[in-house]
Amino acid sequence: MRNYYPGITIFKLSGSLLVLFAHLFLIRYMAQMPAQSLVQFVSLATRIVVPCFYVVAGFLAYKGWSRAASPKGYVVKYAARIGIVYAFFCLLFIAESIVPKLISDGLTAGNLFLQAKVLFMTFFLNGPFIQFWFIPPLVFGVTAAYLLLRRQRDRLAMYLTLAFFAAVQFVSGSFQTAGGEAFGAFAFLQPDHAEYLVAFATRYFGFGFTFVVAGALLAKYEERFLSVKIKPLLLASIALTVLETAALFRYTEWTTDYKLTIGALPNTVLLFYGILRIRSRAAGAYHRQISLFSAVTFFTHILLMKLNLYMLGWSVDSMHVWQDLVYLMLTLLECIAITVLIGLSSKRLPARQAGNLPS
């Protein structure tokens, strides 16, 4: 069993930088391009970075608990470590948003209920900052993968993965137009409650369960997975993606409700196959630094972006290209500086320095 996957290190770095660039300016620039329907549907077909992060997480989690003296203890510790970081940013959100509202609108029963609702949705669905919606479905997916695979329910895990992914296609995927009729039975729900239900199903079952469990299954059957003849699958996936994108563009109207296409699953699996095939000595030599920078960038970039806009007195609605470049470089340098400071202050090397996986 391999102990280190340089492709995963490279993917974490690439993915964290792509998330940074997207939140800084790419999403805004894409929204200004002509032919928005075509641009967005083509973009939708290529949105496999987040699903692949979930696959990587499931893959590494399985490798971790399968090597651990106490698999259950490993999963509990895994969730606790993520939970501590997540709780810290939730406290920042409370200080930034909840407390001012309580002060300005008073401690009335209505306002207390409203802020409790906001906090609940923030913690379990939206995240304290935009990138943190990723965390609760991740913990849910890892827990589900552990419970299923530790009980040797591999087939059930595979069937549930495919079933949930197919069901979400009718909620926020390629078949959502047809699914809208089926959801007429839920017309009694208030519009915002229906949106919450759709977001919950999409994030927890479409993303979290589907791709984390898929990653754990790929970890368990890694040798068999890597022995697959990939070219026919690659060609079939490309054909599916092209046809699906063309059909969506031709027969539907673009809305931001589209989150997952059918092609997202095979495309993500193929991307992960390529990741596992990567060999790089440089990634191995600088694994610890790259992983730390990737984590710092993911967790802190939104907070740094807000602070930078406040300090510069700028607004994203009126920024020029040169300002976006300054904005980018400043945020990137801050991420690097935080990484260096953490590295210098930490004299104890982590147990996982030699590889992606715990020993």
Residue range(s) defining the domain that contains residue 71: 47-280
- Which residue has tokens 């296609």? 169
Q: What is the mean pLDDT of the chain?
A: 90
pLDDT digits (tens, 9 = 90+) for 64-119: 999 999 999 999 999 999 999 999 999 999 999 999 999 999 999 999 999 999 99
pLDDT at 125 exceeding the cut of 70: yes
Tally of domains in the chain: 2
SS3 content of the chain, % helix, strand, coil (to 5): 80, 0, 20
Q: Which residues contact 215 (CB under 8 A, 6 or more apart)?
A: 54, 55, 56, 57, 58, 59, 60, 61, 62, 145, 272
> Are 175 and 318 in the same domain?
no
Which pLDDT value is given to residue 349?
Answer: 52
Concatenated DSSP letters for 202-235?
IIIIIIIIHHHHHHHHHHHTHHHHHTS-HHHHHH
Task: Check: pTM over 0.85? Answer yes or no.
Answer: yes
Separation of CA 306 from chain center: 21
pLDDT digits (tens, 9 = 90+) for 7-57: 999 999 999 999 999 999 888 888 888 877 878 888 888 889 999 999 999
Which two three-digit tokens encode residue 223? 């040798």
> Are 54 and 162 in the same domain?
yes
Residue ending a domain, among 259, 280, 301, is 280
Q: Measure the CA–CA gap between 284 and 275, rounded to whole angstroms.
A: 14
pLDDT digits (tens, 9 = 90+) for 298-357: 999 999 999 999 999 999 888 899 999 999 999 999 999 999 999 888 755 554 444 565
pLDDT at 183 exceeding the cut of 60: no
pLDDT at 359 exceeding the cut of 50: no
- Which residue has tokens 């802020």? 115
* 122, part of any domain: yes
* 127, part of any domain: yes
Yes or no: say if 331 and 24 are a contact pair by the CB < 8 Å rule: yes
> Are 172 and 302 in the same domain?
no
